[in-house]
Amino acid sequence: LEVPEFEFLRYEVAEGIAWVTFTRPKALNALAADVLREIAEVTEVIAEDPEVKVAVFTGEGKAFVAGADISEINALKDVFIGREFALAGQEVMNHIAALPVPTIAAINGYALGGGLELALACDLRVAATKAKLGLPEVGLGLIPGFGGTQRLPRLVGVGRAFDLILTGRHVPAEEALALGLVNRVADDAVAAARELAQAIMKNSPVALALAKEAVARGADVPLPEALEIEADLFGMTVTTHDMREGTAAFLEKRAPEFKGE
């Protein structure tokens, strides 16, 4: 597997977990175009790496990601370029959302604007106690454009999303937990993300991928069609080795040994 040289992030795989760490702490890991390009590249690496069972995104320093790069936005001049800017960022977030393995944002500090939008493209979010989350775009004369106006209301409901989108305020981790915006709060977000990843990895990898696909595809269609998708994917589980093994292990009162096929 060819892993490219990255300038703005670090990619490591250990014990089944791919760690993507943003490494531009001086700019609070802001998503400049070059950073977005590297994130798109790293998602390709993750998707092709057979060692990877779960992927975790996190940041170095006091921020997870403090948003898109405001100096690049300041230079945007017309409606077409602005639209392209949003679409390009959305595409990167879509690559993260489409990863076949479960993904966790380990929100070590500020997750603002495009940074929160990146975390929203992950399946799960773990926040450090000191983390602050928000969509401050309206205070810059912008609106969220990397998926925030769409993924946030789908996750927490329209009313709660409006609170964040219209005030632009920084939400503390504990409140984010109460809102359902994050799944866990811990002093050490990385350690908590590792524990969560380990719990996930006890399960069948093929079942995880199918479960993720069911949730993702079902979210975009009406319920009757979504239920058909679920039934189709459930059907696929019953032909897998992992299903034979998982159910047999239960009946034999032993731990399963999944192969991911």
* Active site (catalytic) residues: 117, 137
Q: How far apart are CA 63 and CA 48, in angstroms?
A: 28
Tokens of 17: 């977990």
For residues 57 and 85, which CB has a smaller minimum distance to ligand HXC in the complex?
Answer: 85
End-to-end CA distance of the chain: 21
Helix residue ranges per DSSP H, the chain: 33-48, 70-74, 79-97, 114-121, 148-156, 158-167, 173-179, 189-201, 205-218, 223-237, 241-251
Interface with ligand HXC (CB under 6 A), residue from 145, 193, 210, 256 = 145
Which residues make Cβ contacts (< 8 Å) with residue 73, sequence separation at least 6?
Answer: 85, 140, 142
Minimum CB separation of residue 109 from ligand HXC in Å reads 8
Interface with ligand HXC (CB under 6 A), residue from 59, 102, 136, 256 = 136
If binding is defined by CB under 6 A, does position 88 make contact with ligand HXC? no
Minimum CB separation of residue 158 from ligand HXC in Å reads 20
Total count of residues recorded for the chain:
261
Interface with ligand HXC (CB under 6 A), residue from 45, 68, 189, 196 = 68
If binding is defined by CB under 6 A, does position 144 make contact with ligand HXC? yes
If binding is defined by CB under 6 A, does position 66 make contact with ligand HXC? yes
If binding is defined by CB under 6 A, does position 25 make contact with ligand HXC? no
Q: How far apart are CA 206 and CA 258, in angstroms?
A: 9
If binding is defined by CB under 6 A, does position 113 make contact with ligand HXC? yes
Q: Which span (137-145, 153-161, 220-228, 246-254) binds ligand HXC, by CB under 6 A?
A: 137-145
Tokens of 228: 């058909």
If binding is defined by CB under 6 A, does position 47 make contact with ligand HXC? no
| CA dihedral sign of residues 175, 156, 22, 33 | negative
If binding is defined by CB under 6 A, does position 76 make contact with ligand HXC? no
Question: Do 110 and 128 contact (CB within 8 A), yes or no?
Answer: no
Minimum CB separation of residue 174 from ligand HXC in Å reads 18
Residues in contact with ligand HXC by CB under 6 A are 27-28, 30, 66-71, 85-86, 89, 110, 112-114, 136-137, 140, 142, 144-146
